[in-house]
Amino acid sequence: MIVNEDQPDLDSPSDDAPAPASLLRGAEVIRAHWEHAPEGPGVYRMLDGDGAVLYVGKAKSVKKRIASYTRLTGHVGRIARMIALTAQMVFVSTRTETDALLLESNLIKQLKPRFNVLLRDDKSFPYILLASSTRAAMLTKHRGARTIPGDYYGPFASTWAVNRTLNALQRAFLLRSCTDSYYDNRTRPCLLHQIKRCSAPCTGEIMPDDYAELVREAKAFLTGRSQTVRATLAAEMGKAAEALEFERAARLRDRIAALSAIQGAQGINPKSVEEADVFAITSEAGQFCVEVFFFRTFQNWGNCAYFPRADKSLSLGDVLGAFVGQFYAERPAPALVLLSHEIEEPGLIAEALTNWSGHKVEVTTPRRGEKRELVNHAEQNAREALARRLSDAASQTQLLEALGVAFAMESAPRRVEIYDNSHIMGTNAVGAMVVAGAAGFMKAHYRTFNIDATDLTPGDDYAMMRQVLTRRFSRLKREAPAPEAAHLQQADSEEFPAWPDLVLIDGGQGQFDAALGVLKELGIDQVTAVGIAKGLDRDAGRESFFCVGRAPFRLPPRDPALYFVQRLRDEAHRFAIGTHRARRKKDFIKSPLDEIAGIGPARKRALLSAFGTAKAIARADLADLEKVPGINAATARLVHDHFRSGG
């Protein structure tokens, strides 16, 4: 699983052919480690001279696998480069090859080696949770660890998909969605009952046995018996109509309509596949796209496109096999996994998924029938998603080139950083850094800075900008090569650079001068800095720009670079304002007890339960504090002294 994130070997005459001396040196390092490598299954890591992990691999016999790396000939370019850069190896033995596969996936996600296929987006998917409780069962959305007792249904490909389904389920089964504390404190039905989305078990509007029947119907529907549930409801509606119970018949009709909405909105629904994940891969222009469809209870629960980082010389099957292993490292697998291409070790993957999930998992590449149709549909979506991404990247590249021309740069910037500050009269001051590149906004690289205002004049935007940029570039100099070396190493690499080519400062001449002062003080002269002053009356399109060696200027009203700068500035402003508001909100709800060392959440709850408010705790005598359950004499003295000393 090799990727093209590697930088050119400085000893080699070309990217594909490392210098013979480098290859020989790397092979000797591997040969020395081979003598002590495990004979059985395990995981091996190849490290460079700085200790950075180059590659993580697994093998049934580690010693036999790495023996192939000791040869000096017969390697493709990417493996030769990896061998040439290897300065050390680390081994971990495992009980079985499936354990090695799990460890390999975990290490790849954690270490992100540049020679492995990397799953870039490892976010968790939302599920629908039917939580069991001593109270009435709760139907809600859930994301993250499955620590709440109950039944989980999913995954759904997006929050929008799970919200849409959840709303329809509430109309169909009238199950509560409120928290236990809200449920316990109700004295009359809430609005959800009024709009017919909850049967209000909290106030006894429905009998426990009847509510349990609703829960049973919901479970039946979510586990695939949707037709049975609809037929039962239809029969009950007919009986109610015959008995002239038109109100009840209308309620049943609405529930049936809600179930129809769920099934009708799912798109393509299989008839013979109850539960499966479908993976289809395609590639173009050196990029890969994996489209994943989720099918549960004979319904399409959405799809998601991934763009793994992988070397363009790898086959589609190799990339797909590595992707599937990482995809399920932290997710439960369904009973069936359908693939568009043959992978190297389908049996091992199936065995590993079976062990991880606790039920039998089949991994197959269908050739015909409905399963093949599902794969073909996923492949079509993968091609379309990759085409859209390549089109967006081309447009983004053109915009970056326009920026380079507008600000007289030698070449188009590969990494653009935009800085903005947000505060109210100097309070809760934060700085924000937004990053953009050829792939658009790079949100994983965004950063916030809590500004230390103790030595600043309240509202001094210039000093705030100096502090933010000093912290940013001082750390960058420590953690990354100097700008000149970074550009040399990354000019022909697809890896997103650590150093910016262009820095945009949201502010006028004062903020721009502050930024130039920081860069000069730190000895950084390879970064282009530009100040953006808002136009008269803050009108968009009338911004003034400040660059070194040029008088303040404006861009033509219809210049694409101007619109792009506005987008970048607005994103930085949005990010800074959001961070500031979150910090301000946190300060609003801060308690004086938070300032006392040794007072954690449990003791804080105990004190507030006993006295009601922080002011009452501050006025309490030492004897009263010692009487609080869970508060010992030492803690009581600590609290008492804190408030008496004006702390």
Task: Please write the tens of the pLDDT for every residue from 153-182.
Answer: 777 766 777 787 788 778 778 888 888 888
Both 75 and 141 in one domain: the answer is no
Q: Taking Cα atoms as reference points, which of 76, 73, 77, 74 lies closest to residue 16?
A: 77
**HEC letters along 166-178:** HHHHHHHHCCECC
Q: Taking Cα atoms as reference points, which of 228, 226, 215, 172 lies closest to residue 197?
A: 172
Lowest mean pLDDT among 15-19, 140-144, 298-302: 15-19
Looking at 324, 352, 387, the residue that finishes a domain is 387
Sign of the torsion angle spanned by Cα atoms 238, 243, 244, 248? negative
Which one-letter amino acid corresponds to residue 549? G
| Cα three-residue angle 116-17-77, rounded to 5 degrees | 35
Question: Is 162 part of a structural domain of the chain?
Answer: yes
Lowest mean pLDDT among 538-542, 558-562, 564-568, 590-594: 538-542
Per-residue buried b or exposed e for 514-552, using 16+ beta carbons within 10 Å of the residue's own CB: bbbebbeebebeebbbbbbbeeeeeeeeebbbbbeeeee
Tokens 């500035």 sit on residue: 569
pLDDT tier at 578, thresholds 50, 70, 90: confident
pLDDT reading at 507 higher than 70: yes
pLDDT reading at 627 higher than 80: yes
More reliable by pLDDT, 611 or 411: 411
Both 427 and 552 in one domain: the answer is yes
* Percentage with pLDDT > 70 across the chain: 86
Looking at 324, 356, 387, the residue that finishes a domain is 387
- Residue 375's pLDDT is what? 93
- Residue 267's pLDDT is what? 47
pLDDT tier at 297, thresholds 50, 70, 90: confident
- Residue 493's pLDDT is what? 52
pLDDT reading at 509 higher than 60: yes
| Pairing mode of beta strands 287-296, 276-284 | antiparallel
| Cα three-residue angle 130-131-135, rounded to 5 degrees | 125
pLDDT reading at 488 higher than 60: no
- Residue 224's pLDDT is what? 58
Lowest mean pLDDT among 158-172, 274-288, 296-310, 355-369: 158-172
Question: Is 398 part of a structural domain of the chain?
Answer: no
Those residues with Cβ within 8 angstroms of residue 250's Cβ, 6 or more apart along the chain or in another chain: none
Q: Please count the residues of the chain.
A: 647
Which one-letter amino acid corresponds to residue 547? C
Both 249 and 137 in one domain: the answer is yes
**Cβ–Cβ contacts within 10 Å for residue 179, how many?**
10
Both 451 and 517 in one domain: the answer is yes
**Cβ–Cβ contacts within 10 Å for residue 47, how many?**
18
Both 525 and 618 in one domain: the answer is no
DSSP structure class, residue 511: H
Question: What CATH number does the domain containing 605 carry?
Answer: 1.10.150.20
Tokens 């600000």 sit on residue: 407
Both 416 and 521 in one domain: the answer is yes
Residue 35: alpha-carbon gap to chain centroid? 41
Both 300 and 159 in one domain: the answer is no
Looking at mean pLDDT, say which of 113-122, 221-230, 274-283 comes out highest. Answer: 274-283
Both 506 and 439 in one domain: the answer is yes
Alpha helix locations (H) across 60-96? Answer: 62-67, 77-85
Tell me which residue range forms the domain holding 482.
410-490+497-567
- Residue 489's pLDDT is what? 43
Kindly state the average pLDDT of the residues 511-534: 90
Question: Is 573 part of a structural domain of the chain?
Answer: no
3-state secondary structure of 231: helix
φ/ψ region of 426 (left if φ > 0, alpha if ψ in -120 to 50, else beta) reads left
Question: Is 583 part of a structural domain of the chain?
Answer: no
pLDDT reading at 4 higher than 50: no
- Residue 336's pLDDT is what? 93
pLDDT reading at 556 higher than 50: yes
More reliable by pLDDT, 340 or 439: 340
**HEC letters along 20-53:** HHHHHHHHHHHHHHHCCCCCCCEEEEEECCCCCE
3-state secondary structure of 351: helix
Those residues with Cβ within 8 angstroms of residue 382's Cβ, 6 or more apart along the chain or in another chain: 280, 281, 282, 289, 290, 291, 305, 340
Question: What CATH number does the domain containing 83 carry?
Answer: 3.40.1440.10
Express each pLDDT in 73-124 by its tens digit: 877 777 888 888 888 888 888 888 888 887 888 888 778 888 888 876 656 7
Can you name the residues that pair with 440 across neighbouring β-strands? 437
- Residue 586's pLDDT is what? 66
Both 338 and 466 in one domain: the answer is no
d(CA 2, CA 288): 13
- Residue 316's pLDDT is what? 92
d(CA 171, CA 222): 14
Kindly state the average pLDDT of the residues 46-57: 87
Kindly state the average pLDDT of the residues 463-483: 85
Looking at 354, 387, 420, the residue that finishes a domain is 387
Count of domains forming the chain: 5
Both 429 and 560 in one domain: the answer is yes
Is-above-0.75 flag for pTM?
A: no
d(CA 403, CA 396): 11
Both 288 and 155 in one domain: the answer is no
Question: Is 400 part of a structural domain of the chain?
Answer: no
Those residues with Cβ within 8 angstroms of residue 532's Cβ, 6 or more apart along the chain or in another chain: 504, 505, 506, 507, 543, 544, 545, 546, 565, 569
The per-residue pLDDT of the chain, averaged, comes to 81
Express each pLDDT in 325-356 by its tens digit: 888 877 788 889 999 999 988 888 898 888 88
Both 417 and 549 in one domain: the answer is yes
Question: Is 380 part of a structural domain of the chain?
Answer: yes
Kindly state the average pLDDT of the residues 417-426: 81
Question: Is 529 part of a structural domain of the chain?
Answer: yes
Question: Is 195 part of a structural domain of the chain?
Answer: yes
Q: Taking Cα atoms as reference points, which of 367, 362, 366, 319 lies closest to residue 343?
A: 319
d(CA 274, CA 297): 5
